[in-house]
Amino acid sequence: MDENEIENMQSTLRAFAARVEAEMRRIKVENKMQHYANKLEQSNQDLQDFAYIASHDLKEPLRKINILGEMLEESLETFNDKQKKIITHMINGANRMNYLVDDLLQLGLIKTKPTTLVELDLNKVVSAALEELDLQIIETNARIDVEDLPTLKVDKVYIQQLFNNLIGNAIKYKDPSHSPIITICAKKNLQNIWEFKIADNGIGFDEKYAEKIFKPFERLHNHETYGGTGMGLSICKKIIERHNGTLTAKSSIGNGTTFTFTIPQE
């Protein structure tokens, strides 16, 4: 075997060894990715299980508190004003905790439950939201201006909840000096990403809190004045993230708020 043959053989062996090493690295990476995928799947299942158990274990005592409160309410005439106030606070607190548990469960499911994308006319989604919010719209004399919206592939349940929450939020935080005016519009950019805006003329907020409002339990106003659990915008943000989009807010005190969210399409 001459030197050229030896050199060719060595070159072939080196190339073979390099391919073997590359294949081993690939297998190692795939195994690691599968390991992480399995752990993530287990974590998601654990989160769903925890959310279900927590909601059940928390709701049972709340149900008993509500029953007790209803029984006491039937005998309010036998209590003095201070006792009546305590009973009312107890019932309201139990109801608020019940809503909070529901929102926690919803947030946990949004984080873990797979999305089911279907072609959906978002004009119909907004119409359904306005029908759901009919009483609030009448009570506040709100005007909602809706431009023509697209038909997109989205998760029907989640997107309905998104519009319900954002429109309801705009009505809730109205300026007491005038009726709410809410505008809803959408446009598509060159990257085939739809950008939606829901703008209102409400009380607004200091924009330095624009990130804080999307965190769970964070509130800029006390719940006595503005009801709710402080979870609505967290749920909205998670819904949009599950659609590979973004949700942001621009506002200033006394000048209303504009929520902008994006939904990419293939």
What's the whole-model pTM score?
A: 0.68
- How many separate domains does the chain show? 2
Last residue of a domain, one of 113, 128, 151: 113
CA–CA distance, 62 with 210 (Å, rounded to integer)? 33
Task: Give CA–CA dist 55/98, Å, rounded.
Answer: 9
pLDDT at 202 over 60: yes
Q: Do 105 and 121 sit in the same domain of this protein?
A: no
- Same-domain status, 49 and 132: no
Q: Is the pLDDT of residue 27 over 60?
A: yes
What are 245's two structure tokens?
A: 């989009």
| Selection from 119, 126, 116, 118 nearest residue 149 by Cα | 126
- Of 78, 113, 148, the residue that ends a domain is 113
pLDDT of residue 23: 66
- Residue 40, pLDDT > 60, answer no
- Better-predicted residue by pLDDT, 27 or 132: 132
What pLDDT was estimated at residue 115? 83
Q: Using the structure block, give the residue that is written with the tokens 């330095």.
A: 208
pLDDT of residue 114: 78
pLDDT at residue 8 is higher than 70: no
Q: Give the pLDDT confidence of 132-145 residue by residue, as tens digits.
A: 999 999 999 999 99
Same domain, 2 and 72: yes
**pLDDT above 60: residue 232:** yes
Model confidence band, residue 123 (pLDDT cutoffs 50, 70, 90) = very high
* pLDDT value of position 44: 55
Say if residue 126 is in the same domain as residue 258: yes
Q: Do 245 and 166 sit in the same domain of this protein?
A: yes
pLDDT digits (tens, 9 = 90+) for 92-120: 777 777 767 776 777 767 777 778 899 99
Asked if 2 and 55 sit in the same domain, the reply is yes
Whether residues 221 and 132 share a domain: the answer is: yes
- The reply to whether 136 and 99 lie within a common domain is no
Same domain, 250 and 180: yes
Strand-strand pairing, 193-200 and 257-264: antiparallel
Give yes or no: residues 177 and 212 share one domain: yes
Distance separating alpha carbons of residues 60 and 98, to the nearest angstrom: 10
Sheet of strand 181-188, all strands in order from the earlier edge strand to the far edge: 143-146, 181-188, 193-200, 257-264, 247-251
What's the CA gap between 45 and 51, in Å, rounded? 10
Q: What is the pLDDT of residues 146-191, one digit of tens each?
A: 999 999 999 999 999 999 999 999 999 999 999 999 999 999 998 8
Domain that holds residue 30: 1-113
Q: Determine the pLDDT at residue 34.
A: 63
Distance CA 33, CA 23 (A): 15
80 and 38 inside one domain: yes
Looking at 65, 81, 113, which one is the last position of a domain? 113
pLDDT of residue 52: 64
Task: Kindly give, in sequence order, each residue whose CB lies less than 8 Å from that of residue 148, ignoring residues fewer than 6 positions away.
Answer: 123
What confidence score (pLDDT) does residue 70 get?
A: 76
How is 211-229 classified by DSSP, letter by letter?
A: TGGGSTT--SS-TTTS-S-
44: number of Cβ within 10 Å: 15
Backbone angles phi, psi at 148, to 5 degrees: -65, 125
If one compares 46 and 58, the residue with the highest pLDDT of the two is 58
Kindly state the DSSP code that residue 200 receives in the 8-state scheme: E
Q: Are residues 127 and 107 in the same domain?
A: no
The CATH number of the domain holding residue 160 is 3.30.565.10
Contact 112, 150 (CB under 8 A): no
